[in-house]
Amino acid sequence: MSSQWRLKPHDSARAAALSRDLGVSTLTAQLLLNRGIGEEAQARAFLEARMTSLNDPELLPGAVDAAERIVRAIRSGKKIVIYGDYDVDGVCGTSVLWACLRLAGASNVEYYIPHRVEEGYGVNAEALRRIVTEQQAELIITVDCGISALAESRLARELGVEFIVTDHHTLGHDLPEADVIVHPRLPGSQYPCGDLCGAGVAFKLAWQVCKSFGDGKKASPHLRDFLIESLSLVALATVADVVPVEGENRILVRHGLAGMMRSPSEGLRALLEVSGCLDKKKLTSGMMGFNLGPRINAAGRLERAMMAVEMLTTDDTARAREIASELDRCNTRRQEVEHAIVAEAHDMVKAMGGASERGAIVLGKSGWHPGVIGIVAGRLMETYHRPTIVVSLGEELGQGSARSIAGLNLYDAISACSEDLIGFGGHSAAAGLKVHVSKFQAFAERFEQHCRAALTPAQLKKTLTIDSEVFLAQLTPRVVEEIERLEPHGMGNPRPLLVANGVRVVGSPRIVGARQNHLQVKFTQGNITASAVGWNMAERGKKLAANSLCSVAFYPSINEWQGRREVQLEIKDFQLDEATDHAQTQSA
């Protein structure tokens, strides 16, 4: 659907003052102001993102108590099992905590990742029984799950096993009866970063454990080195789980990216290689989100995520490469399945009369693979700009995945319509649910009506928020490199989006890419010409013709090719000049 553009307010005086204080361009200063950073000290802290600014894990609710229990278990040789979620966040968090305990001296620690299709999300009662009776677990630690495991925590107590929950998902009305809960948003919490991902919570617990094997305040050297190396996995999880990349999370991602670039583990090196990122001169959060994350997720979607943990924790180069190759094949299969379901879903939306009059999209069908419905929901949400729920319908039960737009808290919306659900969980932007097939249609109608009432017409209109209007002449390589200091980007710190008005297309745009789905075009403004690329914009690019006059919204970047470095515009959207649009319409 078409987007309306909204240009953020421009404060010339404040931008000029901040520019002088920091020694940066006024454009960079305005971008900082747009992110709520207006003071020199605040801006320097943001740009430097020092590791010393990370919060002490003692501030995290439950971390001290949990660490003490884990240390006692290690020293007494108890059997410990880490129960993680099957997505990137859970896999990375499980890998960090397992490796930490092994390095700290735990000789009897294992991990368990449930099967997405056969067991579903969260702590599974049958798996819990097997872990206790067959694996003889004496301490179970959840990672990225467990905060909604009310019945399962009671079962753990009945089975006589110590049960620690580490999670970051939205708290329900009741909390599990665990021995300890580690969560940044527990009632009464003053933890400065309530938006840690599951792996971030696991990392903080690992840090507190490591302190116990040092002097109580700092970890011993080898454990401190491990913590720094593990930031790469925390960064990957933070980006993949789409939590805000600001405050502490931004520091974790900044240093995690640097560590991954500098000295990746065997598993990450293998993953970078199959993803085509190993020889890149620079790694970005975008590469994490679009190249690395999907391959780890593919294991949990179509196979078992246990092998992803093995890849991320092994020191065996050959084994890491073997698993990475298998994950790459899983990802290719996942893409094929995803494309087929997305096509069916679009047909279903058309059959419903489109999405323009709807408050939400809720689709379900038998045979849809439950491992990819989350991605499909995200694709549909992006296309139609509506809260979206996609459900894989079985014989009796349906498993659903949901994604939301800005302005609607998805967890609260599903909660308001939950009388027909077996269960649900998640947070404001993404959630999962289970429903009886016989109740699916009633739930779908109730949720659509709720969203239609809750969202305003303005919220249902897709809006592109633009940071600043610029002239192409402003975008020198030095200025664009300066803008890149605002990385890493993500929710809460979006990639700077700029607009140039009155630019003209030079020559005929080209359609490129193996699937002929990308657009290459040159724009000129005054005496400046800039190259631009529009990812997956081949179809829309047909509206651009030689000499067209338009406005273009884009991300500035540096393109490196055969030793040359030049500014490149990554097109997000464009609007044809009215005269050009009219002339093209008349000639069509």
- Model pLDDT for residues 133-153, shown as the tens digit of each residue: 999 999 999 999 999 999 999
554 assigned to some structural domain: yes
Closest listed residue to residue 95, CA positions, set 262, 308, 309: 309
Per-residue pLDDT tens over the stretch 457-516:
999 999 999 999 999 999 999 999 999 999 999 888 999 999 999 999 999 999 999 889
The CATH number of residue 539's host domain is 2.40.50.460
Tokens, residue 413 = 């919306």
Q: What is the pLDDT of residue 587?
A: 46
Domain-ending residue, one of 427, 454, 481: 454
Report pLDDT for 303: 65
Find all residues with CB under 8 Å of 3, minimum gap 6, and list them: 462, 463, 464, 573
* pLDDT at res. 586: 45
Mean pLDDT of 111-127: 88
Domain CATH number, residue 200: 3.90.1640.30
- In a 13 Å sphere around the CA of 385, the CA atoms on its Cβ side amount to 18
More confident residue, 118 or 20: 20
Give the integer Cα–Cα distance in Å for 276 and 14. 42
pLDDT score recorded for residue 426? 83
The CATH number of the domain where 426 resides is what? 3.10.310.30
pLDDT band at 578 (very low <50, low <70, confident <90, very high): confident
- Judge whether residue 121 has pLDDT over 70: yes
Number of structural domains the chain divides into: 3
248 inside domain: yes
Same domain, 450 and 486: no
Q: Does residue 253 share a domain with residue 197? A: yes
Q: Are residues 211 and 75 in the same domain?
A: yes
Per-residue pLDDT reduced to its tens digit, 53-64 = 999 999 999 999
Residues 378 and 472 in one domain: no
Q: Does 450 lie in the same domain as 509?
A: no
Distance between CA 397 and CA 434 in Å, rounded? 7
Alpha helix positions (H), 243-364 = 248-262, 266-274, 285-287, 293-302, 306-313, 317-351
Token pair recorded at residue 501: 């008005």
Q: What is the pLDDT of residue 543?
A: 92
Could you report the per-residue pLDDT of 158-174, keeping only the tens digit for each?
999 999 999 999 998 99
Considering 263, 295, 319, which residue would you say is the last residue of a domain?
A: 263
Structure tokens at 125: 């009662």
Residue 570 lies in a domain: yes
- 304, pLDDT greater than 90: no
Residues 486 and 569 in one domain: yes
Residue 445 domain flag? yes
Specify if 297 maps to a domain: no
The mean per-residue pLDDT over the stretch 231-250 comes to 95
The string of DSSP letters for 353-400 reads T-STT-S-EEEEEET--TTTHHHHHHHHHHHH-S-EEEEEE-SSEEEE
User: Six-digit token pair at 536?
Assistant: 């997956």
Helices (H) and strands (E) in the chain, counts: 20, 18
Q: What is the residue range of 74's domain?
A: 53-123+189-263
**Cross-strand pairs, 111:** 82
Task: Single out the residue of 484, 575, 570, 480 nearest to residue 532, CA to CA.
Answer: 570
409 and 549 part of one domain: no
pLDDT of 582 reads 45
Q: Cα–Cα distance between 455 and 385 in angstroms, integer?
A: 12
Mean pLDDT in residue range 412-427: 92
- Tokens at 48, concatenated: 């430097």
Task: Using CB atoms within 10 Å of the CB of residue 398, give its burial: 0 to 12 exposed, 13 to 18 middle, 19+ buried.
Answer: buried
SS3 assignment, position 452: helix
Tell me which DSSP letter residue 149 carries: -
Residue 288 is given by DSSP the state: I
Q: What gap in Å lies between CA 525 and CA 530, rounded to an integer? A: 9
pLDDT on residue 562: 74
Are 490 and 411 in a shared domain?
Answer: no
Spatial separation of the C-alpha atoms in residues 567 and 406, rounded to whole Å = 31
Looking at the predicted structure, is the pLDDT value of residue 526 above 60? yes
Confidence bin at 570 (pLDDT 50/70/90): very high
Same domain, 403 and 482: no
One domain for residues 470 and 555: yes
Instruction: Report which of 398, 522, 391, 388 is spatially closest to residue 460, judged by C-alpha positions.
Output: 388
The answer as to whether 277 is a domain residue is no
For residue 571, is it within any domain? Answer: yes
Q: Which residue has the higher pLDDT, 1 or 73?
A: 73
Angle at 133 between CA 371 and CA 128, to 5 degrees: 30
Q: 491 versus 206: which is more confidently predicted?
A: 206
Q: Tell whether the model's pLDDT for residue 117 goes beyond 80.
A: no
- One-letter amino acid identity for 125? A
Q: Are 280 and 257 in contact (CB under 8 A)?
A: no
Same domain flag for 201 and 64:
yes
The answer to whether residues 416 and 468 belong to one domain is no
Distances (CA, A) of 4 to 89, 108, 354, 550, 574: 34, 57, 19, 15, 11
- Picking from 412, 435, 454, the residue at the C-terminal end of a domain is 454
Task: Determine contact, residues 38/18, Cβ cutoff 8 Å.
Answer: yes
| 387 within a domain of the structure (yes/no) | yes
CB 358 within 8 A of CB 385: no
Number of Cβ within 10 Å of residue 570's Cβ equals 16
Half-sphere exposure of 519 (CA within 13 A, CB side): 25
Average pLDDT over the chain reads 93
Q: Strands, DSSP E only, in 472-497?
A: none
Q: Sorting pLDDT into bands at 50, 70 and 90, what band is 583? A: very low
